[in-house]
């Protein structure tokens, strides 16, 4: 088989890695690699992507084995809620967030005026996603997407991201080879994937381009626009910290069951100081770390004294509609609670 010279360097290193195997256990299939590149060129041409961007994308494509390994070995989430909050809502991150609030007051105010998303909320997302821009991207995104397309587990999804990225580069006159991000394709201060950027990106500094990597203004307004389109309500809390009685129905603890605050009062939910939560018809879910709940609740003790309520022993969170809007950004309950906690610290 003849290997074109311009592609030789991009794949040669694969054969210098003893025993490198494709994900399905077979040898690296160079014909599949070249077929993907050819298909990208053909489809990009048919979708009117500029020849300049096509050539730049496919000039020296590189397969990155470590990305396949990352995709295959995503660790199961094992941190407790408290452990996750201790890691993500650190004192250092809070201090840095307050510094950023002082550094960007005008831009934060502009986001709030345009989209109704408060400064402390924008800062919380910025801190969680990139530690206020301190997290450095590792991978050229064109190579990351081509690698994941070759791997095949989510080929359609990553193909969609690559073409969205190519169109973004065209529309905004960006050098596609200078766009770096995570191994899974998230980029910039708020870690947007290309399809999200294409839908919600905003030119925040009025330079005629949307560049969420190099422009904090573009990144902030894009995040504000995204949250606004998700239905963000600046007049609502995200969560309410509460304590939960030992006899609560375990099926209530995952956030999917919604009840009014008045109903949660009936089930023994109170504020952390023991005072009553508001008597309201506002709907909320309930999130509790089930592992912590089981560890701190003796389910084997029975009492004939029905007048004595079990002592509230575990902290939980009543979750309001904004909480579920955050989950459309990131589906993790722990992430949404961390956003709410960090945002409260940055008010």
Helix (H), strand (E), coil (C) string for the chain: CCCCHHHHHHHHHHHHCCCCECCCCCECCHHHHHHHHHHHHHHHHHCCCCHHHHHHHHCCCCCCHHHHHHHHCCCCCCCCHHHHHHHHCCHHHHHHHHHHHHHCHHHHHHHHHHHCCCHHHHHHHHHHHHCCCCCCCCEEHHHHHHHHHHHCCCHHHHHHHHHHHHHHHHHCCCCHHHCEECCCCCECCCCECHHHHHHHCCCCCCCCCCCCCCCHHHHHHHHHHHHHHCCCCCCCCCEEEEEECCCCCHHHCECCCCEEHHHHHHCCCECCCCCECCCCCCEEEEECCHHHHHHHCCCCCCCCCCCCCCCCCEEEEEECHHHHHHHHHCCCHHHHHHHHHHHHHCC
Residue-level pLDDT at 239: 98
Residue-level pLDDT at 17: 40
Query: What mean pLDDT do residues 212-220 have?
Result: 97
Residue-level pLDDT at 64: 93
Residue-level pLDDT at 181: 96
- Give the residue with greater pLDDT, 231 vs 300: 231
Residue-level pLDDT at 311: 60
Does residue 139 register a pLDDT over 60? yes
Q: What span, in angstroms and rounded, lies between the C-alpha atoms of 216 and 159?
A: 28
- Give the residue with greater pLDDT, 340 vs 72: 340
Q: What span, in angstroms and rounded, lies between the C-alpha atoms of 244 and 254?
A: 13
pTM: 0.88
Q: Would you state the torsion angle of the CA atoms of residues 149, 154, 158, 159, taken in this order, to the nearest 10 degrees? A: 60
Does residue 73 register a pLDDT over 60? yes
Residues with Cβ < 8 Å from 7, sequence gap 6 or more? 34, 37, 60, 61
Does residue 294 register a pLDDT over 90? no
Residue 121: half-sphere exposure toward Cβ, Cα within 13 Å = 27
Alpha-helix runs per DSSP H in 13-64:
30-46, 51-58
Q: How confident is the model at residue 178 (pLDDT cuts 50, 70, 90)?
A: very high
Instruction: Name the nearest CA neighbour of 77 among 290, 281, 273.
Output: 290
Residue-level pLDDT at 244: 95
Residue-level pLDDT at 4: 43
Does residue 308 register a pLDDT over 80? no
Does residue 326 register a pLDDT over 60? yes
Query: What mean pLDDT do residues 251-260 have?
Result: 95
Residue-level pLDDT at 26: 58
Residue-level pLDDT at 77: 59
Q: How confident is the model at residue 21 (pLDDT cuts 50, 70, 90)?
A: very low
Q: Which residues on adjacent β-strands are paired with residue 21?
A: 27
Compute CA distances 221 → 110, 180, 197, whole Å: 8, 20, 11
Q: How confident is the model at residue 137 (pLDDT cuts 50, 70, 90)?
A: confident
Does residue 19 register a pLDDT over 70? no
Does residue 277 register a pLDDT over 80? yes
Residue-level pLDDT at 179: 96
Residue-level pLDDT at 300: 41
Residue with tokens 């459309």: 328
Does residue 9 register a pLDDT over 70? no
Instruction: Name the nearest CA neighbour of 183 among 103, 72, 321.
Output: 72
Does residue 112 register a pLDDT over 80? yes
Query: What mean pLDDT do residues 165-185 have?
Result: 96
Report the mean per-residue pLDDT for the chain: 89
Residue-level pLDDT at 255: 94
Query: What mean pLDDT do residues 160-166 have?
Result: 98
Tokens of 187: 């980029």
Residue with tokens 């509609």: 321
Angle (deg, nearest 10), helices 333-345 and 321-329 = 110
Query: What mean pLDDT do residues 205-211 have?
Result: 94
Q: How confident is the model at residue 153 (pLDDT cuts 50, 70, 90)?
A: confident
- Give the residue with greater pLDDT, 73 vs 7: 73
Query: What mean pLDDT do residues 152-177 have?
Result: 96
Q: How confident is the model at residue 76 (pLDDT cuts 50, 70, 90)?
A: low
> Which own/partner contact pairs does 288-294 have at CB distance under 8 Å and 24+ positions apart?
288/244, 288/248, 288/253, 288/314, 288/315, 288/316, 288/317, 289/80, 289/81, 289/82, 289/314, 290/250, 290/253, 290/254, 291/80, 292/80, 292/81, 292/82, 293/244, 293/250, 293/253
């Amino acid at each position: 088989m003849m290997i074109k010279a311009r592609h030789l360097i991009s794949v040669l290193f694969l054969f210098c890695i003893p025993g490198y195997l494709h994900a399905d256990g077979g040898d690296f299939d160079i014909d599949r690699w070249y077929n993907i590149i050819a298909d990208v060129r053909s489809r990009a041409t048919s979708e009117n992507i500029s020849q300049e961007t096509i050539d730049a994308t496919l000039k020296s494509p590189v397969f990155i084995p470590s990305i396949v390994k990352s995709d295959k070995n995503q660790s199961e989430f094992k941190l407790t809620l408290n452990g996750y909050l201790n890691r993500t809502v650190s004192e250092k991150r809070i201090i840095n967030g307050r510094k950023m609030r002082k550094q960007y007051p005008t831009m934060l105010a502009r986001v709030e005026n345009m989209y109704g998303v408060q400064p402390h909320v924008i800062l919380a997302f910025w801190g969680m996603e990139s530690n206020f821009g301190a997290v450095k991207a590792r991978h050229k995104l064109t190579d990351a997407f081509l690698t994941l397309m070759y791997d095949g587990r989510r080929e359609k999804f990553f193909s969609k991201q690559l073409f969205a990225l190519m169109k973004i580069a065209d529309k905004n006159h960006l050098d596609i080879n200078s766009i770096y991000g995570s191994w899974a394709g998230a980029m910039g201060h708020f870690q947007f994937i290309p399809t999200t950027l294409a839908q919600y990106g905003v030119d925040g500094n009025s330079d005629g381009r949307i560049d969420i990597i190099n422009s904090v203004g573009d990144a902030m307004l894009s995040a504000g626009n995204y949250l606004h389109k998700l239905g963000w309500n600046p007049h609502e809390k995200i969560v309410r910290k509460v304590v939960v009685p030992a006899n609560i129905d375990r099926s209530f603890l995952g956030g999917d069951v919604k009840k009014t605050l008045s109903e949660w009062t009936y089930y023994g939910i109170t504020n952390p100081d023991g005072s009553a939560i508001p008597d309201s018809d506002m709907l909320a879910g309930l999130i509790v770390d089930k592992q912590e709940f089981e560890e701190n609740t003796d389910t084997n003790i029975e009492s004939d004294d029905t007048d004595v309520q079990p002592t509230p022993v575990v902290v939980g969170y009543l979750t309001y509609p904004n909480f579920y809007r955050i989950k459309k950004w990131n589906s993790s309950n722990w992430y949404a609670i961390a956003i709410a906690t960090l945002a409260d610290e940055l008010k």
